[in-house]
Amino acid sequence: MKELHNVNVAMRTLARELLESGTVAGVYGWKKGSRPTLTSPLYIQDAAKADRLAYDQYAVSNLSALLLDHRNNDKKRAIFVKGCDSRGVVRLLQDQQITPEQVLVIGLPCPGMVDEAGSLLTKCAECRFPNPVMADQVLGGVEVSKQPSAPTGVTAEAARKVGVGSRAGERMAQVAQLEGKTAAEKEAYWAEQHDKCIRCYACRNVCPACNCRDCIFDTEKKGWVSKAATSSANAFFAITRAMHVAGRCVDCGECERVCPMDIPIMTVNRKLQQDIEALFGPYDAGVDETVVPPLGRYQTDDPEEFL
């Protein structure tokens, strides 16, 4: 994409400098994949490999969860982020999975991501934070913003043209559609979806909010959950995953993208967002590190009487 030509050059130069100077021990970015329409995650530790870095409208992967690999390591890693990805980094910082000393965040302008057929991803049509919400450095003239905003930087015009954020107001459409169904219909719908789950945990492992050191689904011996991929165990997994990220999910859509069984995971995440906003007021997770997530804070006027 021609608007991003200079950004690509700048990314490679910056990565090379950061590695050569020893400022960082590694850099997370993307590289071109086996087809022109694939741009895949890349981690480099060697300045000589900086030229492999590439960024375009296919760089859909959110790399932030990969930082969890280094949570016990003092060295700094650089990470390139789009708007949605930056919220993943905030998630990790706020959850104290990494410290600011461990990460150097480089914000990029987002042109809006497309699938291999060239259609804008739903998450991008619904995007409210196309600009990084935090960054130590930016490239391509993008502006850091903690407010819902229009795309900025060298791809602002391109992003506007493809419709980034144009359906932000319809983010809850899928939730509304399901809410229109009867309880029995909803049950049948989710049973069919959960039956498909193969318990590959791709949704969990890609997620910056799923950052428990010991996931309950990996600690089978405690007997909380069965490893069997039965309908009920799958539903238990799906509900537990959703509840564990409630109020902390940064809305990056990666869980749904990576699910090999095409389970509409975002519908559940969005429903929880909606409920949390209804109970606790407007809240966008992973935007402002200083605002504690609603389910993680104590208030004397909590709407739940039990407290």
Residues that bind another protein (CB under 8 A): 26, 33-35, 38, 40-44, 61, 63, 65-66, 69, 192-193, 195-196, 198-202, 204-206, 218, 220, 223, 226-230, 254, 257-258, 260-262
Q: Helical H runs in the chain? A: 5-20, 83-94, 122-125, 156-162, 173-179, 183-196, 202-205, 231-245, 254-258, 265-280
The item of ligand SF4, another protein, none sharing an interface with residue 76, based on CB under 5 to 8 Å by kind, is none
CA angle 176, 180, 182 (to 5 degrees): 140
Q: How near is the Cβ of 113 to another protein at its closest, in Å?
A: 14
Q: How near is the Cβ of 69 to ligand SF4 at its closest, in Å?
A: 12
Q: How near is the Cβ of 34 to ligand SF4 at its closest, in Å?
A: 13
Q: How near is the Cβ of 89 to another protein at its closest, in Å?
A: 16
For residue 43, the one-letter residue type is Y
β-sheet bridge partners, residue 137: 106
Q: In whole angstroms, what is the distance from residue 126 CA to residue 283 CA?
A: 16
Q: In whole angstroms, what is the distance from residue 152 CA to residue 148 CA?
A: 12
The item of ligand SF4, another protein, none sharing an interface with residue 252, based on CB under 5 to 8 Å by kind, is ligand SF4
Measured distance between the N- and C-terminal CA atoms of the chain, rounded to whole angstroms: 53
When the beta carbons of 106 and 249 are compared against ligand SF4, the nearer one is: 249
The item of ligand SF4, another protein, none sharing an interface with residue 38, based on CB under 5 to 8 Å by kind, is another protein
When the beta carbons of 42 and 110 are compared against ligand SF4, the nearer one is: 110
The item of ligand SF4, another protein, none sharing an interface with residue 123, based on CB under 5 to 8 Å by kind, is ligand SF4
For residue 282, the one-letter residue type is P
The item of ligand SF4, another protein, none sharing an interface with residue 110, based on CB under 5 to 8 Å by kind, is ligand SF4
Q: How near is the Cβ of 10 to ligand SF4 at its closest, in Å?
A: 18
When the beta carbons of 16 and 294 are compared against another protein, the nearer one is: 16
Cβ of 29: how many Cβ atoms within 10 Å?
27
Kind and range of the H or E element at 68? none
Does residue 286 contact residue 250 with C-beta atoms inside 8 Å? yes
When the beta carbons of 22 and 163 are compared against ligand SF4, the nearer one is: 163
Phi, psi of 27 (to 5 degrees): -130, 130
Binding positions for ligand SF4, rule: CB under 6 A: 82-84, 110, 112-113, 123-124, 127, 130, 164, 197-203, 206-209, 245, 249-255, 258-261, 263, 269
Q: How near is the Cβ of 42 to another protein at its closest, in Å?
A: 7
Q: How near is the Cβ of 275 to ligand SF4 at its closest, in Å?
A: 15
β-sheet bridge partners, residue 30: 41
Q: Are strands 103-107 and 26-32 parallel, antiparallel or unpaired?
A: unpaired
Distance of alpha carbon 239 from the chain centroid: 19
Both tokens of residue 20?
């050569």
The item of ligand SF4, another protein, none sharing an interface with residue 212, based on CB under 5 to 8 Å by kind, is none
When the beta carbons of 220 and 275 are compared against another protein, the nearer one is: 220
Both tokens of residue 284?
């966008």
When the beta carbons of 103 and 238 are compared against ligand SF4, the nearer one is: 238
